[in-house]
């Protein structure tokens, strides 16, 4: 937090709304006390669980809330956003339908592109034209605006996305139309405000997504603001930075990945405290798994895709797969086992919860394998039923014609298969963001978190050849903790298109307006101008290439581009001319994270945390494995796997032969057996 906000508020609450659980981390700055808790997420209105959780503790201290939510994400993925219209330059109204020729699955004859968010009947065009240099070729015909307004009103439109050709070079026409539409009561998303960059399809889709999800997010955040009345209220952006809710309500596209972004922010902070700079983050929740590479600092991209749609605002470079603790285990049309991407969510949840679920999920499989404590979850508050989970898995095993083995029941055999399938899916995701991008995962530390991460972390590290695993003390609620750690961040980009040798001084002058805009926005966020740290970047490519790499802006940017190109693609060409496509400015006000308590090292003996032994499926047999209570482990305690380490809100499975030690921050540091 900034020093100014520390003076105004003393209670800081990070909230992460996931598909299965809503997580809370509460930090009392007056006592340095940190507490965490979870509630089952509420559907259809996620605000209910947030309000219920906040009502569970009382405090008269002023509250600062930092919120990460899947509201915008779900509105996009479930196609439940606002009724939106699209307005383009005359002749370009079908731009969203035409899209790109790119096929995600080249050899799949049945592969279909995602349907546009806006139907053709809600797409209009207007007479205007600007060239690529920003020169007006045809003025905006303002006489067409009354007819457009009538069409929008008669169609029941709530939100309008405007994307005129080359408006990033000259936004005057968009500004005129946007103001007229706002005066008429419509929510308006104009492309020059959202992403003033070239590539008209990507720019238009990003603008449409913002128009589609922002009214939904606005109503959700408005309800929370009215009910909670916090002294300060921030939302986490997909770039890992905080944004004041008053601004975030109209920029829904910037919070599409806010929850997963919070996890990366929290993981990087905890890893650095533990002495690790190069990490691969692994966030396995109930609905999905998110992975990211951090090579000293978080990787931010402007080329993300959500639900098959391009999102051209800065987001932490994540790869997501539909594999989580809540992923359903089903028989596909070919009679084979399929795990995910569909999830049971909070309702009905796993079969073992007894909330109405009848289809087994990954959590049920882990319970039947003995990897979860059978006395219940959340410190025993949530009872679980192993017999119900076994019955559901047995029924699926019979449908798949899977029988028992010498020592295992058919339910246990299938549970092992479910575990192996979901591990394979997550391994592929890890390889996408590491090996396929030129990184050797063996040089990184594996940071595992999320409610389900600890059960699978050791096996995944083994599959990836990684030797060190870090499981934070707050693994299950780390995304919510990341909200409290996050900096205030504002990002701006602008297309400039400069080919050949462009003088550094000229680029510096072109960058100045973006810097001033960013600093002004930071001041609007309640941060003193002197606290802002400016980071400047360029999007660069060799002349003739279609896509670019983002590099720091300095006098040595050409050399840095060649080096990054070599790292990414295995070659570079120092003599080839380059093209500077976009310039980017990020203004950051560093946060002041909550203090994490440390303890002195004790002996290696973990016996004070020993709970007993229970049977766990290892390979093809049952083995009595020791269980430990994580809250009672002390720094210096050492455990040799196999072992189960249970805590109130998550569980860690240490595979045979691995060495697990507790560090001074109560993190588990596991060295894998080579």
What does the pLDDT look like over 536-563, one tens digit per residue? 999 999 999 988 999 999 999 999 999 9
- Residue 6 has a pLDDT of 41
| Band of pLDDT at residue 1, cut at 50, 70 and 90 | very low
Among 195, 212, 229, identify where a domain stops.
Answer: 212
Q: Name the pLDDT band for 651 (thresholds 50, 70, 90).
A: very high
Coil vs helix vs strand at 468? strand
Residues 97 and 118 in one domain: yes
Is the pLDDT confidence value at 3 over 60?
no
Q: Is the pLDDT of residue 4 over 50?
A: no
Distance CA 190, CA 177 (A): 9
| For residues 511-523, average pLDDT | 90
Average pLDDT, rounded, for the chain: 90
pTM summary value: 0.90
Are 195 and 242 part of one and the same domain? no
Residues 65 and 141 in one domain: no
Say whether both 208 and 85 belong to one domain.
yes
- Asked, for residue 644, whether it belongs to a domain, the answer is yes
Q: What is the mean pLDDT of residues 351-373?
A: 90
Same-domain status, 112 and 171: yes
**Do both 16 and 116 map to the same domain?**
no
Distant-in-sequence, close-in-space partners of 416: CB < 8 Å, separation ≥ 6: 365, 369, 408, 617
Domain count, the chain: 4
Range scoring the smallest mean pLDDT among 38-47, 147-156, 399-408 = 38-47
Last-in-domain residue among 182, 212, 242 = 212
Q: For residue 140, is it within any domain?
A: yes
Q: 18 pLDDT exceeds 50?
A: yes
- pLDDT for residue 343 is more than 90: no
For residues 151 and 109, membership in a common domain is answered with: yes
Whether 31 has a pLDDT exceeding 70, the answer reads yes
Cβ contacts of 401 within 8 Å, gap of 6 or more: none
Q: Are 627 and 602 in contact (CB under 8 A)?
A: no
Whether pLDDT at 600 is above 70: yes
Band of pLDDT at residue 363, cut at 50, 70 and 90? very high
**Terminal Cα distance for the chain, rounded:** 42
- pLDDT confidence bin for 103, thresholds 50/70/90: confident
CA dist 606 and 609 (Å) reads 6
Among candidate residues 160, 192, 212, the one where a domain is terminated: 212
The three-state secondary structure class of 41 is coil
Distance CA 381, CA 374 (A): 12
Token pair of 379, please? 């410190």
Query: Is residue 67 a part of any domain in this protein?
Result: yes
Residues 13 and 99 in one domain: no
Same domain (yes/no): 128, 88:
yes
Mean pLDDT across 175-187: 97
Mean pLDDT of 418-446: 94
338 lies in some domain? no
For residue 278, being part of any structural domain is answered with no
How would residue 346 be classed by pLDDT, with cut points 50, 70 and 90? low
198 and 96 share a domain? yes
Residue 9 has pLDDT above 80, yes or no: no
Q: What integer is the mean pLDDT of 234-242?
A: 92
Q: Which residue's structure tokens are 């955040």?
A: 221
Residue whose C-alpha is closest to residue 277's, from 470, 90, 34, 431: 470
Percent of the chain at pLDDT above 90?
64
Q: Which residues of 555-590 are buried (b: 16+ CB within 10 A; e: fewer)?
A: eebbebbbebbeeeeeebeeeeebbbbbbbbbbbbe
The reply to whether 526 and 644 lie within a common domain is no
262 within a domain of the structure (yes/no): no
**Model pLDDT for residues 198-218, shown as the tens digit of each residue:** 999 999 999 999 999 999 999
Is 165 domain-assigned? yes
Collapse the DSSP code of 479 into the 3-class scheme (helix H, G, I; strand E, B; otherwise coil) and give the result: helix
In a domain, 516, yes or no: yes
- The domain in which residue 525 lies consists of 488-589
CATH number assigned to the domain comprising residue 205: 3.40.50
CATH number of the CATH domain containing 236: 3.30.420.40
Phi, psi of 658 (to 5 degrees): -70, 145
Q: How confident is the model at residue 528 (pLDDT cuts 50, 70, 90)?
A: confident
Q: Are residues 177 and 149 in the same domain?
A: yes
Kindly write down the DSSP assignment for every residue of 187-222, as one continuous string: EEEEHHHH---S-HHHHHHHHHHHHHHHHHHHHHHH
Mean pLDDT across 354-377? 87
DSSP 3-state assignment of 418? Answer: helix
Q: What is the mean pLDDT of residues 574-587?
A: 93
Which residues lie across from 542 on neighbouring strands?
578
CA distance 110 to 112: 6
Place 88 in a pLDDT band, splitting at 50, 70 and 90. very high
Residue 378: per-residue pLDDT:
59
């Amino acid at each position: 937090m900034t020093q100014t906000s520390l003076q105004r508020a003393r209670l800081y609450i990070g909230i992460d709304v996931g598909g299965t659980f809503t997580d809370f981390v509460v930090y009392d700055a007056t006592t340095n006390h940190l507490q965490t808790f979870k509630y089952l997420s509420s559907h259809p209105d996620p605000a209910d669980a947030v309000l219920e959780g906040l009502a569970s503790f009382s405090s008269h201290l002023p509250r600062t809330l930092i919120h990460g939510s899947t509201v915008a994400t779900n509105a996009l993925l479930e196609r439940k956003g606002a009724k939106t219209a699209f307005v383009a330059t005359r002749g370009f109204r079908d731009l969203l339908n035409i899209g790109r020729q790119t096929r995600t699955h080249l050899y799949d004859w049945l592969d279909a592109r995602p349907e546009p968010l806006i139907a053709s009947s809600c797409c209009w065009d207007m007479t205007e034209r600007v060239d690529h240099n920003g020169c007006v070729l045809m003025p905006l015909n303002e006489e067409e605006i009354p007819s457009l307004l009538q069409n929008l009103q008669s169609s029941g439109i709530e939100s309008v996305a405007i994307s005129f050709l080359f408006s990033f070079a000259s936004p005057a026409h968009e500004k005129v139309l946007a103001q007229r539409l706002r005066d008429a009561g419509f929510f308006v998303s104009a492309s020059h405000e959202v992403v003033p960059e070239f590539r008209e399809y990507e720019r238009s889709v990003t603008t449409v997504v913002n128009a589609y999800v922002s009214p939904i997010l606005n109503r959700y955040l408005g309800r929370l603001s009215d009910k909670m009345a916090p002294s300060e209220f921030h939302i986490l952006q997909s770039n890992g930075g905080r944004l004041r809710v008053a601004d975030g309500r109209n920029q829904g596209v910037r919070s599409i990945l806010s929850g997963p972004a919070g996890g990366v922010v929290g993981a990087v902070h905890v890893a650095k405290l533990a002495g690790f700079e190069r990490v691969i983050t692994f966030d396995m929740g109930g609905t999905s798994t998110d992975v990211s590479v951090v090579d000293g600092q978080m990787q931010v991209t402007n080329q993300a895709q959500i639900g098959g749609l391009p999102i051209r605002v800065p987001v932490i470079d994540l790869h997501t797969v539909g594999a989580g603790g809540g992923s359903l285990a089903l028989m596909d049309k070919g009679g084979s086992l399929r795990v995910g991407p569909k999830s049971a969510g909070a309702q009905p949840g796993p079969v073992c919860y007894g909330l109405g679920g009848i289809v087994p999920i990954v959590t049920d499989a882990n319970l039947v394998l003995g990897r979860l404590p059978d006395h219940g979850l959340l410190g025993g508050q949530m009872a679980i039923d192993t017999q119900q989970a076994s019955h559901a898995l047995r029924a699926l095993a019979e449908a798949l014609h899977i029988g028992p083995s010498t020592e295992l029941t058919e339910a246990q055999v299938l549970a092992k298969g479910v575990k192996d399938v979901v591990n394979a899916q997550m391994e592929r995701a890890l390889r996408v963001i590491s090996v396929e991008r030129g990184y050797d995962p063996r040089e990184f530390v594996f940071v595992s978190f999320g409610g389900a991460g600890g059960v699978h972390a050791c096996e995944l590290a083994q599959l990836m050849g990684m030797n060190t695993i870090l499981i934070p003390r707050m693994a299950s609620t780390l995304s919510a903790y990341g909200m409290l750690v996050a900096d205030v961040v504002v990002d701006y980009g602008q297309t400039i298109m400069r080919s050949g040798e462009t003088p550094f001084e000229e680029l510096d002058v072109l960058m100045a307006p973006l810097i001033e805009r960013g600093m002004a926005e930071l001041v609007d966020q309640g941060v003193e101008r002197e606290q802002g740290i400016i980071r400047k970047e360029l999007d660069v490519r060799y002349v003739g290439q279609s896509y670019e790499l983002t590099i720091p802006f300095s006098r040595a940017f050409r050399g840095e581009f060649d080096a990054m190109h070599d790292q990414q693609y295995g070659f570079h060409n120092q003599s080839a001319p380059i093209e500077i496509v976009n310039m980017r400015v990020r203004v950051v006000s560093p946060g002041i994270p909550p203090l994490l308590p440390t303890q002195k090292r004790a002996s290696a003996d973990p016996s004070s945390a020993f709970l007993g032994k229970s049977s766990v499926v290892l390979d093809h047999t049952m083995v009595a494995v020791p269980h430990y209570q994580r809250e009672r482990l002390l720094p210096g305690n050492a455990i040799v796997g196999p072992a189960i380490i249970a805590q109130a809100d998550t569980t860690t499975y240490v595979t045979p032969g691995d060495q697990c030690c507790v560090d001074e921050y109560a993190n588990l540091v596991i060295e894998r057996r080579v």
